[in-house]
Structures are given as structure tokens and as C-alpha cells.
Chain A
Amino acid sequence: MNTDTVKSTETKDEWAPDRNVGAVAVVGAGIAGMQSALDLAESGYRVYLLEKNTTIGGVMAQLDKTFPTNDCSTCMISPKLIEVAGNPNIEIITGASIEQFEGRPGDFTLGVLLSPRYVDESRCTACGECAKVCPVEISSTFNEDLSTRKAAYKHFPQAIPSAFAIEKKGTAPCKAACPAHISVQGYVALIRQGKIQEALNLIRRDNPLPAICGRVCTHPCEAACSRGDVDEAIAIKDLKRVAADYEFHSGAKVLPAMKESRKEKVAVVGSGPAGLSAAYYLALEGYGVTIFETLPAAGGMLRYGIPEYRLPRDILDYEIDFIREMGVEIRLNTPVEDHETLSGLQAGGYSAAFLATGAHKPLELNVEGEDLNGVYQGVDFLRRIGLGDNPPVGKRVAVIGGGNVAMDAVRSALRIGAREACIIYRRSEEEMPAYGEEIEEAREENVRFHLLTTPTKILGDPNGRVQSLELIRMELGEPDESGRRRPVPVAGSEYRMEVDTVITAIGQTVASGFDPAKAGLKTTRRATFAVDPITFQTSVPWIFAGGDMVSGPATVIEAVAAGKEAAVSIDRMIRGEDLRAGRERPVTIAYPEPASHAPHPRQRFTRIDAPERIHSFSEVQRALTLEQAKDEAGRCLSCGVCSECYQCVEACQANAIRHDMEPGIRKLNVGAVVLAGGYRPFEAERKPEYGYGRYPNVITSLEFERILSAAGPFAGHIRRLSDGKDPVRIAWIQCVGSRDSAGNQDYCSSVCCMYATKQAIIAKEHDSRIQPTIFFMDIRAHGKGFDRYYERAKTDHGIRYTRSMISRVTENPVTHDLYIHYLDEQGAFQDETFDLVILSVGLRPHPETADTARKLGVRLNAWGFAEEQPFDLVATSREGVYCCGVLQSPKDIPETVAQASSAAAKVQELLWKSRGSLIDSMDYPEERDVLGEEPRIGVFVCHCGINIAGIVDVKELAEYAKSLPHVEVSSDTLFACSTDSQSTMREVIRQHNLNRVVVTSCSPRTHEPLFQDNLQKAGLNKYLFEMANIRDQCSWVHQQHPKEATEKAKDLLRMSVARASLLEPLHEIPFEVTRKGLVVGGGVSGMTAALSLADQGFETTLVEKNDMLGGEAAKLFFTARNDDTAAYVRDLDRRIREHPKVTLLTGAEIVESKGHVGKFTTTVRKDGGLHTVEHGATIIATGGSEYAPQEYLFGRHPAVLTQRDFHGMMAAGDKRIKLLKSVAMIQCVGSREPEHPYCSRICCTQAVTNALKLKEINPNSDVYILYRDIRTFGMNELYYKKARQKGVRFIRYDPTRKPEVADRGNELTVTVFDQNMHTELELPVQAVILSAAIRPRPESKPLASTLKLPMDADGFFLEAHVKLRPLEFSNAGHFLCGLAHSPKFLEESVAQAKGAASRAATILSKERMFAGGQVAVVDRERCVLCMTCARTCPFGVPKVADDGFIHIDAAECRGCGNCASACPRKLIQVQHMKDDQTIAKETGIYPLDDLIRELQHFMGGTR
């Protein structure tokens, strides 16, 4: 059935002087949030469904099965997810958290912080290609860390929004530390996967000199590496070399994709790393680049400063040639040596210049003898070697300095003839700026180190040749401005050293060929060039500068970074863009979670042996092997999660990946907020005695839930984590993080007893060998149908329940089996061995809840749940903000769903005037009449990127379509669902006058509504559409068989075309909704439901059988919280009588009801007369009653009372209460008995409440509560605890040995066998109070028969679905609440009543509903009234109408077609699923030609 919500006809001004916004924010999109959102959206509100995660569904989506029906959780929630996604009034906003909140009820403004998803949801087709190529594997939070997933992920296949997301925690420390910000983690991850070329391409995005930097980089990344905190940093530099050498050796050089060439030219002065880098990135942008180089070969300091044994020249040449091949011209021997030449560049057509001439001028030592023959400057010395002009050296060489130039000089000296070489450095080794590696290698080569020594004089022989050095020892004093301790000479420590050659290497400074001032270029006081630190622009706008000439002598990687940034600036300048925009991004550095990582040694490269290597300039270090590299890369901790390797960007055909997304704030204007923050399980590691986290086979219940799931980490196979073995002995330990004062977890989590029971049953279903044991304190099976489930678990499934106190769990360290040490029922200590222990962890409010609540000004209680408001579970401390689900208190799914509707009702009571004001209504063009036309079918074949086209030959398929009957036109498209494809489709429909459309693409489950909508936009009836699923059912599942997949796709297409040609347009018939409610039953539930509807503006009739209102609640006076029940009920009564929109009919009963959802006519008898009530929805709230006990002398002794009577006596201030010395309360009177096998839910709490009241009135009285299990679930546990503290005595009896009550005249004696003390007690008491069961009302049965409503075995009304549709009947338009549904507390009834009102409002809010569409239609004239259809229909829709013919109501029919199949005369057809249409599809499997050919063959064969 389709429905439309029409805009409200109320004028706002008439009702509301204030602005009331017709939009609602629902915070949290678990089952609670989704239900609230659906109720509100269906009732005419715009809903923003805010979810922090990347998918909606909450914890329910993680569950395997649900109790007490063992339904598959995913199967139940998936349709809900789709419903939410498909509702046009719900906007799902993922990655959302609330930052700001202001305003008043009816008009709030929310500031929502949006965390980026890094995937454009509107473009993503959820094909998963991004995840396939993603190299980062992390543990899957959805699978509770029991399996892994990629950084590009979707939590589960059915997740909504149906889009992937990329998890980024921030920038990895390595990337942040790298001056060029290379995606280090990315290329490390790619190397781990063996994707070496991809790794190299990634490095080149930020560094065009990977082979060079793979050798000489100072690798600040390694210093920052988080792996260093575990053992040693990743060998990042060495990995880079592996990637670069791979290409060098393979010869498979692939130049990067360059943009279209541009006419502008750029000059680069200097061919060192800065110049080369700038040239590379400018060439990529398409500019013509010329590098001007003074020296005869390119490379700058790389060639003339770094010796070949560190950087082989073939490697250097390779990378320079790489840049040349990209079109960069390098003019050698071409100095730009004066400012005229420089300014001449501009005149020569260069739009910009980048200066990068380095810092080559050595610093003077300033000691005597520096000009002697045999004294060299380090950089000059190295340059000459680089030029092939080896300077003469003597036998003994001394190098002064402690930097890399000094090391390079001393080691080079050895290679060109020196026999002895030493380093003289004025500080200690700790302060040496040279790399550790170089120092180490120098030592290996027998270089001696004179530390804390400085030359005072160089002494020469008479020929002016160096002879010796005069040195002085130093000691370290106070730190200087560099932070290093300043060396101070030690007086009188001078000594001499004989040397032949002295090389000074104490630093360089900038020396450009021209006077900067003349060129108008500013310099710093360090004589370096002054530039903008972000843009590298000099004081002359068209000139940029970088590298050592700006920074002073620095590293290769810093020069590369400068060149790259300058290239960005130059490109922007030429394009006329802002140079600075977006370049000063704050970086959030991500550190890995403190997880335990096993040490794994770093892979080390090897070197040529020192004695061998000092005779040549061969490269000293050998590269890691590929295997070593992969192993090394595997040590990476993936700090940032996403490594920014950009593989996904390339893999994504839909162009949906957006790595540059940033967080933002979105403002939302809403009238109300529903908080549905949900929960997380209690952290089991907080109970160390159970060994969680230490013993692998101790797991949490949620982990076990994932293990049970077929889509879980082990595909539904139950196995131990330690050894993967099938466990047989499995124990559940209850109350982990519940009923536990020690951890401030005093409350009961309400659901654990049931979910443990369910898990035990399901585990046995998975593997019948399993022997489950549940260790518990009290079994709390207090919900509808729960006690039966528990009893069946014991009797039918053989689950063992052991009442016990557990002291601890220990482990056999060899077998990893577990021992549970516990105190049994008899008080004896026991030890038992198990294979697997499951901790039934409690429920805690989601950790984000506290933060959200604080921002919304909502008060929470001591445990983080929303503070409870009297008689109103969904209200919070702030008006206009409502709560539901576990955020309110621990609860199961049906209660959550009911409360979610309840919260929606509260919103509607507040915002009813603005209902419909902010929702979209779609206007379609008039539908073209196609009746009588020959089918003209258009076929659209979707590639789905490569998802289909990669396997199925889509071109061939589209061509094939043209050969099929009735196909007018056929085409293929990259993404059929994209906006442009949709508009093309509409155009094609019009052009070719099509009257049928077939799309072959993905699943109709997700995409049929989209295409149908498009047909409507093109003026075609939406039922003229047919879809063939050639992705999910073809290309994805036959990946290895492309040929067969193509053939299958043809079959699927042919089947669809066959059906399409028989499709007929269908028109749904609108009818006016009677926008009035009918509520049956005038107790608290009925009154609340009626008032909620009336407060939402709907006229409502309340029918009550008695003359009084109030029902059972009229006999209640106070609650456990001591709220005044009587006053509350009186107020409801008053409001009902005063409300102008409520018609109250007391002393009245329903006689008959006719009609269908949205339009009922009900006859009510009152005072002998008949009244007719027209209404659109019915709420049943007929309540329950207290059982009148037959047992324990009730009715035979005046001192035997029911709890309710006793409650009334205390409330009335009965004097006798004060005289009671001792009282016994007996629980489960009439409950949990074979004839009534259900728990009455409220009695334990009621007994505790009354006991506390008695203790308050009469503190000296003794109270004994005789119980089977204390079921004070949820927050009621606190009253149980309080009662124990107050001295109420709890005595557990066994149902096989029930207490006995004996009449002793004025006194009574209760005899009971105490199960805990194992002794019989005889209690003399003055009163016995019986906790009598709650029974359904006897009047409910005839009402059920009149309205044809189903009841359960206990006589309560039966809802449509116990989990997700707890407040409605399967009969459309009928709802239920309160005790009529099952036993419950007053405030639970109130919540359900409002929830039922909300569900009813989804109908009453509509002016029109539509009947028809895909529904069953019966040929009435030929029908013989055999009633098979009526018997077959699961929903009881076919009925004999007043005219004597069978009638299948179009408004109620679900279109399942069971009746059609069953009809013996074949007189029923389901529209759109008619037999001929379906058969055409089924038989279309075989092409007619083939059939004829085969028949002919057959005929020929027999002839």
C-alpha cells in the first residue's frame, strides 16, 4: 500500500503565535532511532537521523538471533534499514555528533559536527573495489575485533547508507614528520602487498627523487615512527630504495600522466634537488621548464657533494633523465650569474623563475695556516672528486668537522689514497650532526675520531705544505642557543698531530653569482634568501626561491619539499589563483591504539666489507631483498588507519572517493530532539577475576554473537580463539557488569538472562555436541513469552542452569581450557572445566551519550542513563528533548521499539501544528495512457563501473537486446543510476515513445524505486518497469566465468523482456482517511492513548465498559520512586473529561466494526442505544486484572491479602499496619505455573516497594519475601538492594516445595524450605501478602472475536511481530498497548500507549491513502465461495462481503499471492504478479529458437 502525507491544512497563526518547526532531529540511528524517525517521517515531519557511525542499525545489526523467537536479527533489521533509507522525509546524516544546541521547545537550532566519510555517498555504488585495493588491514569493530577489515570499508553488506567509507584517524607521524609529506604509511602498506610499482608511483606524488632519497635521506620519518615505541622504527628509507630500485632494475619506466601542455614557460636556476623537484611538478602541470645549471653536469650537491659510494651516479642520472624525459630542458654550463641575466629570463618569455642555487660557499675555520698547501675546504674537495679531478692527498688526512660533509670527505680521502684518516670534532659524538650510519661506516673503515678537540693552528713546512696540526682539548660547558652544550677549551691541553692533508668541513653558506639586492631580492641576516615560508615567493613576485639558498645547508628532502611547494605557488600565480589558500592546514597526528604488538626485528641491509670497499667508490650499502622489504613493511602499525595511498581513487570508477573532505558544522533547525544514544557492552576487562583479555577463550557475549553469525568472523562456525577447535563445554557467566556495586554497576541489565539462554540454544543448534551451562544468580525472564522460552531451554534443549556465585576463572596455560571456581547452591565450592567461557556483559549507555546529553542540557543519572521523569519514561529533564531505548534504561528490543514510538508521540504532541509543513511532495507529469499499444521496450544495460562490465560483455548484451521481441531501443551506460543517465533515460523514453522499460543492473531491492520514480518523471506508470539483476546474481557470483556470465545475463535480460511485454499499468485508488481515533478501554493506557491522539489534534472516541475510568491503576497509590500514582490517574481522568477533542463513552461496548485501515465504522452500544463511530485507526487498551488466588488461604483468612490490597491499606493509612510485627510475602502466586506459564513482571518490584513502605511506616516489622527468582530488572534492582539493606529477608523456595500457610487463629504460620540455607523455616506472621498474577481481562476475548484480532495462548492480545511491531496488530489499522498486551508497570503502559498513538498517527496524519497496486483481485462473479483463500491468507484479508460475494480488501492485502496459488478455480490474480507475467519470465529462460531447434531435432530423431 502506498500512502501520501498531505501538507497540513491548519494555518499556523490560528494555533501558534510562536514558530514551531516541523522538523525533528533523532540522535542515534539504532533500532530506537530508526523507529522514531520512521514514525515521525510517516506522520508528516522532516527527520534528520543523526548517527556517529558510518551506518545505521546500531547494536541490533551486530546480533545474530533474537529472543524469544530465534528470528535472525539481520533479516529483521535489513528491511527496516531499507525503509529508513527509502523514506523521502528522512535524511540520514552519518558521522554526525552534536556540538551546539540552543533555542526553545518547538524551535531549536542544532550545530552538528560532521566527520568526513571520504566517500561521496551519492556517487558510491557500494561495489567494494576500494576495499579490494586498500592495503590497510585493521580489526573490524563490527565483528568486535574478531576479524579484520580494510581502511576502506562497509560494516556489513546490508549497511545503510549503502556506501563505503574510509577510516582516517589523522596523519601518520611519519607523513607529518616528512618535510615533503610523503604518504609513507601508504607506500609501506603497498610494499607489504607486493605492489612495488604502485608504491613508487605514490612516492613520486610527493617526491620525484625516490632512488636518491632511498639512499641519502636523513629520514626524519623514522625518528617519528610509532613502531619505535614497540621495538625499532620501520626501515622507511630502505623500503623507499627497494621501490625505486625495482623500477630502475626492471627497466619498466612509466612516466607519470602529465596534464595538457601549457604555453607558459618557467625557468629554474640550479639543478640540485630543489630545482629538479620544482621542474618535475611544473612539468606535470604542463609547463615548459628550463633548468639553468652552472656546472657541466646536473644534480647540484647530489653530484658534487655526495660521494658516489653513497649515491651511485647511474642512479642519480636515472632520476635526472626521468625528469628530462618529461620534457624538462637542462642547460648545463649556463650560469645565471648576474641580476641582468635573471631579469632577462622574464623578457625571454619565462612567466616565473625558481632559484635554487644551493649553499656551496664553505665557512672559514679562521685559524692560522688555513691557506697552506694541502688544506682543502670539504665541499671543494668533494666537488673536485665529483668532477673527476681528484685532489692530491697525503698519507695522513685529518678532517675537521662532525657533519656529513666531514664524513664524506674523510671516507673519500681514504678512497683516493690516504692511509690514515681521522675526524677532529670539538664536541662529543652525541652532538655530531652526521648520520649515525655514516659515523658507523667511517669507523668500520678505520677512521679515527678525535672528539672534544679543536685545531688552534695549522703548521706548515718551509715549502708551505701542511706538516702538522696544533690541537686543544675541549670540555662541554653550558648549552648554547642551539641547545647543545658549548665546548670550552681546556687550558694547557694543547698538543700536536702530524698530518699531510687537512680538510675543513665546518659548514657552508649561500653564495649566488649575483648581488641579490640588485635584483631587488631581500635576504636574511644569515645571508640566505628571504621568501614567504608557505609560498616560497621572494620579494619579487615572479621569482621564487628554495632549497639550501633559503634554508641554509639542509637536507635533500627539505629541498625536494621546497621545490614541490614552489611549483604549486608558481602554477597558482600563473593561473591567477590565491597562492596561500588552503595551504596552512592544521595537521592532526594519529597515533596507534596502545595495543600489544609482539616484537619483530627490523630488517637490516648489508654492506660491502670495509677492507674491500675503501678501494673503490662502489655503493657500500646493499638494498633489502623484496622478501625482506615485505616483511619489514609488515611491521607498520598503520597509525593513521587510511594510509592515503590513493589506490582507491584509481579503483573507483564512480569517482566517489574524496580524500580532501574536511569536518564541518551543519546547522539544523528542528522543533524537537529525540535522543536514542543506545549502548555499548560493559567492558569485561574491568572484571579481572574472569580473565577477559588475558585468556583467549574467555569472550564477551557480543563477541559470541558475532561468532554465531553466518556473516561473522568464522562464517557461523563456533570455534575457540586459542586454537580454533570446536568447543564442547561452554559456560555463560551472568551479571558481568550488572548487579555489581563494586563497579558502580548496581542495576540489572535486563536482557542478559534471555540473550544467554538464546545463545545457548542457538549454539546447540549449530553443533549438537555443545553442552551449555549458564551460571546465574536469578533468571530474569520477565517479558512476554520469556518464561516459556526459559522453560523450553531447560526441558527441550537441555541447557544446564547453575545457580551459583563465581569466585574466579583460571586457565590451563597449555591447553587454554578454563576452570570456573564457584560456590554452588548447596554452599559447596566447585571447580569445573570448560572449553569456552562467555561473559554475559551488561549494558552501559553509549560513551558518547554523556557528551551529547551535556550539550543538550539533559540530565543523566549516576550510571549515565537519562534521568527518569515521573510516569513518563521518554521525557527528559529538558522539554522538547525526548529519549528512548537503552539510553533511558537497560531494555530489550520490543520495549525499545515501543518507547521509540512513544518518544515520537511526545514530539507530535508538541509539534502537531507544524505537521506536514516541511516535507517534500513530489509532482509528476500526467501519466501517458499506454493501453492498447503494442509493447515498445527500452533496454538500459548498466556497466556499474567494472562491477558488471568487468565480467559481463555489456556491449554484446546491449546488442543482443535489440534482437528480442518488442525491444525498440537498447543502450549501455557506465552507471545507470547516475543523475545524467537518469535524464538520458527520460529523454530516450520520450524520443522513442517507449511504454516499457527494462534496466539490467543491480538489485531491485535497492534500485527499483529509483528507476520507477524516473519512469513517473517521464510520464510512464511505474508498474511498466522491470529489472534484471545482472550484478548481484551474475557478474559478482560468476567472476571466474565471464563467458557463461554473459550468456546468463542474456537469459536474465530475455526473461525480463518477456515479462515486461506483459506488464500493465496499475493505478492505486485514493480514499479519504477518517482522521479520527477510537480507543477501547479507559484505564491508564486507554486514557493516555486517547489524550495523545487528541493532543496531536485528532478527534478521538474513548470507549470504556465500566462507568469509571482508571482501570487497574485506580487501585494504585504510589510507585517504588514514591511518585503519587493516584494523583496522576485523577489528572488523566480530568483531562479526558475536559479535552475538547475527546468523546468519552463510558458504560459502553463495541458491538461491531467494519471497514479497513483509514476508514472504519464501529458500532458502540451505550445505555441500550447504538452509536456509530467513524474512525481511521483503533487502539486496543482493554487492560488486565489481578488474579484472585485460590491458594495460601486467600479468601479464607482475613490476614491473607494480595499485594494490591496491602498496598491500598498502607496508602489509606490503615492503623493495623503499625501493629504488624512480621509479614510474609509469597511471590509467583498464579504466575510461572504450568497452566499460566508466564511471569507477571511487576510482582517482585511491587513486593519490594510494599516491603519498603511497610519498613517506612513500621520499621520494627519483619518482612520475609518468599521468592523463586527475584526479577527486579533494570533500575528496579536498586530497590531490591535497598530492601536488603533495610533488613527485608529474602527466602528462596523451590516450586516443587512451595510454602505452606497455616491458620493459627489470630496468627498465621508460613512454613518454607529455604533453598539457600537448606533448612525448613517456620515463620509466625500476622499477615501473608500474595503477589498475585496479572491475568488478561475476560472481556478481551469477545472483543477479539468482534474485531477479528488475534490473541496469544495466555489470552493477551497478540501483536504483529514481537520484536519490531510490538504495538500493532497484523490487521492493518489496529494497535494495542498496556496490560492488554502483557503484564507491565504503569509507566511502561503509559509509554506503550503513547507509542500506539504514534503508530496510529502514521495513518491519521494522512488525508488520503491509496489502495491497490500489487494486490490480489478476485473474479467475484465466478467465485464459488469455497473459502480456500480466506483460510490460506496469513493476514485474514479475504472475507465474505455483505452482498454475499468474497471480498479481498485492496487496502489490507499485502500482495503475497498465497490465495492466488491456493484458489482451486484460479480466479485470483495478484496484480503485477499475474501468472502470465511470471510464467513469461520463468519460461523466458529458454530462447524460443533453441526450443524449436531442439524440438525439430527430437522430431527428426524419432522420424
Chain B
Amino acid sequence: MDGSELKIIAMVCTYCTYTAADMAGSMRLQYPHNVRIVKLPCTGKVDTIHILKSFQAGADAILVGG
């Protein structure tokens, strides 16, 4: 397992990490394609229930960025 088949959910703050992800795009920085970004108003909005439900639904890892 090299990690490329893992499904990763990134729960990110709309102000910082989401903006950074956009910037990575405009700078064409390449990164693994197995991450799915979910925009939250603030990382303070990340709730235990979100994490548990995500794992339950098949996510392998969760990244919180804020």
C-alpha cells in the first residue's frame, strides 16, 4: 500500500486553507489526487460527528486544515 488508493477528506477553513488550495491550483502545484476538499466556514466547525461519519462512509484519513 503506497497510500495512493486511500481516500482522504480535507476539511478546511474557507479563509486560509481553501485559499491556499486555490493558489496551489493557479500555480499548478501537483499533489496526489486522492484528496477531496470540503470547505467549512472555519476549522472550528469541524465536529466529531463529521469525522466519525466520514470514516464510516469509507474515508481512510481526514486532514483538517486551518
Question: Do B57 and A1032 touch (CB < 8 A)?
Answer: no
Specify which of B33, B49, B50, B54 lies most central, judged by the most chain A CB atoms within 10 Å of its CB: B33
Given contacts A1414-B41, A1486-B59, contact A1479 B19 (CB under 8 A): no
8 A Cβ contacts from B15-29 to A: 15-16, 18-19, 21-29
Given contacts A1036-B26, A1460-B45, contact A1482 B33 (CB under 8 A): no
Cα of A1055 to Cα of B31 in the assembled complex, Å: 20
Query: What residues of A have a CB within 8 angstroms of the CB of B54 in the complex?
Result: 1479, 1482-1483, 1485
Given contacts A1470-B45, A1491-B58, contact A1051 B36 (CB under 8 A): yes
Query: What residues of A have a CB within 8 angstroms of the CB of B27 in the complex?
Result: 157, 711
A1004 closest partner in B (C-beta): B39
Question: Do B26 and A1485 touch (CB < 8 A)?
Answer: no
Query: What residues of A have a CB within 8 angstroms of the CB of B16 in the complex?
Result: 75
SS class, residues of chain A in contact with chain B:
helix
Question: Do A1486 and B58 touch (CB < 8 A)?
Answer: yes
Cα of A892 to Cα of B24 in the assembled complex, Å: 30
Closest CB in chain A relative to B5 CB, distance in Å: 11
A810 interface residue per 8 A CB criterion: no
B31 closest partner in A (C-beta): A1037
Question: Do B23 and A157 touch (CB < 8 A)?
Answer: yes
Question: Do A1491 and B57 touch (CB < 8 A)?
Answer: yes
A669 interface residue per 8 A CB criterion: no
A1473 interface residue per 8 A CB criterion: yes
Cα of A75 to Cα of B16 in the assembled complex, Å: 7
Cα of A1040 to Cα of B29 in the assembled complex, Å: 11
Query: What residues of A have a CB within 8 angstroms of the CB of B2 in the complex?
Result: none
Question: Do B49 and A1485 touch (CB < 8 A)?
Answer: no
Query: What residues of A have a CB within 8 angstroms of the CB of B26 in the complex?
Result: 126, 128, 157, 1032, 1036
Query: What residues of A have a CB within 8 angstroms of the CB of B33 in the complex?
Result: 1034, 1037-1038, 1041, 1044-1045, 1047-1048
Specify which of B11, B18, B41, B42 lies most central, judged by the most chain A CB atoms within 10 Å of its CB: B41
Closest CB in chain B relative to A1063 CB, distance in Å: 14
A1035 closest partner in B (C-beta): B25
Given contacts A1457-B40, A1473-B40, contact A1485 B25 (CB under 8 A): no
A154 closest partner in B (C-beta): B26
Query: What residues of B have a CB within 8 angstroms of the CB of A346 in the complex?
Result: none
Cα of A1460 to Cα of B21 in the assembled complex, Å: 25
Question: Do A1475 and B47 touch (CB < 8 A)?
Answer: yes
Query: What residues of A have a CB within 8 angstroms of the CB of B15 in the complex?
Result: 75, 79
A583 interface residue per 8 A CB criterion: no
Query: What residues of B have a CB within 8 angstroms of the CB of A1494 in the complex?
Result: 58
Question: Do B25 and A1037 touch (CB < 8 A)?
Answer: yes
Query: What residues of B have a CB within 8 angstroms of the CB of A1455 in the complex?
Result: 41
Q: Looking at the complex, which one of A1045, A1458, A1466 makes contact with B42 (CB distance below 8 Å)?
A: A1458
A981 interface residue per 8 A CB criterion: no
Contact with B along A1466-1503 (1 / 0, CB 8 A): 10001001010011011101100011001000000000
Query: What residues of B have a CB within 8 angstroms of the CB of A1315 in the complex?
Result: none
Query: What residues of A have a CB within 8 angstroms of the CB of B22 in the complex?
Result: 157, 1003, 1005, 1029, 1032-1033
Count chain B residues whose beta carbon lies closer than 8 angstroms to a beta carbon of A. Answer: 40
Question: Do B57 and A1485 touch (CB < 8 A)?
Answer: yes
Specify which of A75, A1033, A1034, A1039 lies most central, judged by the most chain B CB atoms within 10 Å of its CB: A1033
Cα of A1350 to Cα of B31 in the assembled complex, Å: 43
Question: Do B9 and A1485 touch (CB < 8 A)?
Answer: yes
Q: Looking at the complex, which one of B7, B14, B24, B39 makes contact with A1485 (CB distance below 8 Å)?
A: B7
A973 interface residue per 8 A CB criterion: no
Q: Looking at the complex, which one of A1004, A1040, A1432 makes contact with B30 (CB distance below 8 Å)?
A: A1040
Closest CB in chain B relative to A1417 CB, distance in Å: 14
Cα of A1470 to Cα of B47 in the assembled complex, Å: 12
8 A Cβ contacts from A150-166 to B: 157-158
Question: Do B49 and A1479 touch (CB < 8 A)?
Answer: yes
Closest CB in chain A relative to B28 CB, distance in Å: 6
Closest CB in chain A relative to B14 CB, distance in Å: 8
Question: Do A1005 and B18 touch (CB < 8 A)?
Answer: yes
Query: What residues of A have a CB within 8 angstroms of the CB of B53 in the complex?
Result: 1479, 1482-1483
Question: Do A1039 and B28 touch (CB < 8 A)?
Answer: yes
B63 interface residue per 8 A CB criterion: no
Query: What residues of B have a CB within 8 angstroms of the CB of A1047 in the complex?
Result: 33
Query: What residues of B have a CB within 8 angstroms of the CB of A140 in the complex?
Result: none
Question: Do B30 and A1456 touch (CB < 8 A)?
Answer: no
Closest CB in chain A relative to B35 CB, distance in Å: 8
Question: Do B36 and A1478 touch (CB < 8 A)?
Answer: no
Query: What residues of B have a CB within 8 angstroms of the CB of A1051 in the complex?
Result: 36
Specify which of A1029, A1032, A1052 lies most central, judged by the most chain B CB atoms within 10 Å of its CB: A1032
Contact with A along B49-66 (1 / 0, CB 8 A): 110011011110000000
Closest CB in chain B relative to A1438 CB, distance in Å: 14
Q: Looking at the complex, which one of B37, B46, B58 makes contact with A1029 (CB distance below 8 Å)?
A: B37
Query: What residues of B have a CB within 8 angstroms of the CB of A1458 in the complex?
Result: 42, 44-45
Query: What residues of B have a CB within 8 angstroms of the CB of A75 in the complex?
Result: 15-16, 19
Query: What residues of A have a CB within 8 angstroms of the CB of B9 in the complex?
Result: 1482, 1485
Closest CB in chain A relative to B50 CB, distance in Å: 6
Closest CB in chain B relative to A1046 CB, distance in Å: 10
A1031 interface residue per 8 A CB criterion: yes
A1143 interface residue per 8 A CB criterion: no
Question: Do A1039 and B45 touch (CB < 8 A)?
Answer: no
Given contacts A1036-B25, A1040-B30, A1486-B59, contact A1478 B38 (CB under 8 A): yes
Question: Do A1482 and B30 touch (CB < 8 A)?
Answer: no
A78 interface residue per 8 A CB criterion: yes
A978 interface residue per 8 A CB criterion: no
Question: Do A1456 and B44 touch (CB < 8 A)?
Answer: yes
A947 closest partner in B (C-beta): B25
Cα of A1034 to Cα of B28 in the assembled complex, Å: 10
A1161 interface residue per 8 A CB criterion: no
Specify which of B7, B26, B47, B54 lies most central, judged by the most chain A CB atoms within 10 Å of its CB: B26
Cα of A1494 to Cα of B50 in the assembled complex, Å: 21
Closest CB in chain A relative to B3 CB, distance in Å: 14
Given contacts A1032-B21, A1045-B33, A1483-B56, contact A1461 B38 (CB under 8 A): no
Cα of A1038 to Cα of B37 in the assembled complex, Å: 14
Question: Do B28 and A1485 touch (CB < 8 A)?
Answer: no
A1005 closest partner in B (C-beta): B22
B47 closest partner in A (C-beta): A1461
Question: Do B50 and A1482 touch (CB < 8 A)?
Answer: yes
Mind listing 11 A-B residue pairs with CB under 8 Å? Answer: A711-B23, A1005-B18, A1037-B30, A1039-B30, A1044-B33, A1048-B33, A1055-B38, A1434-B44, A1461-B46, A1479-B50, A1483-B53
Show the binding face of A for B, using Cβ within 8 Å.
75, 78-79, 126, 128, 157-158, 711, 1003-1005, 1029, 1031-1034, 1036-1041, 1044-1045, 1047-1048, 1051-1052, 1055, 1414, 1432, 1434, 1455-1458, 1460-1462, 1466, 1470, 1473, 1475, 1478-1479, 1481-1483, 1485-1486, 1490-1491, 1494
Show the binding face of B for A, using Cβ within 8 Å.
7, 9, 11, 14-16, 18-19, 21-31, 33-34, 36-42, 44-47, 49-50, 53-54, 56-59
For the complex of A and B, 9 pairs with smallest distance between CB atoms: A1032-B25, A1457-B45, A1458-B44, A1486-B58, A1483-B57, A1456-B42, A1036-B25, A157-B26, A1044-B33
Knowing that A1029-B37, A1483-B57 touch, tell me 6 more A-B residue pairs with CB under 8 angstroms.
A1032-B26, A1039-B30, A1045-B33, A1461-B46, A1482-B38, A1486-B59
